[in-house]
Amino acid sequence: MLIRSKLLEHVGQRILNRFHKEIKHPAAYQVKISKLNPPINGDVQSVSIILSD
């Protein structure tokens, strides 16, 4: 990842945008991103987001 981001949502959206730019045929995409040991209070192993278009 050359572009740093604080939000998983931003990373996921950049991935979806790249899919649409690189792959020219119409398709629906779904991206799931997980972050291990997020810096939040509490005993959490990971957080995840799922983005689709």
Q: How many CB atoms lie within 10 A of CB 12?
A: 19
In the block, residue with structure tokens 């020219």? 24
The pTM (predicted TM-score) of the whole model is: 0.78
Take residue 13 and report the two structure tokens written for it: 């959206």
Report domain extents, the chain: 8-52
Residue-level pLDDT, tens digit, the chain, 53 residues: 788 898 999 999 999 999 888 987 778 889 999 999 888 888 899 999 999 98
The helix/strand count (H/E) of the chain reads as: 1, 2
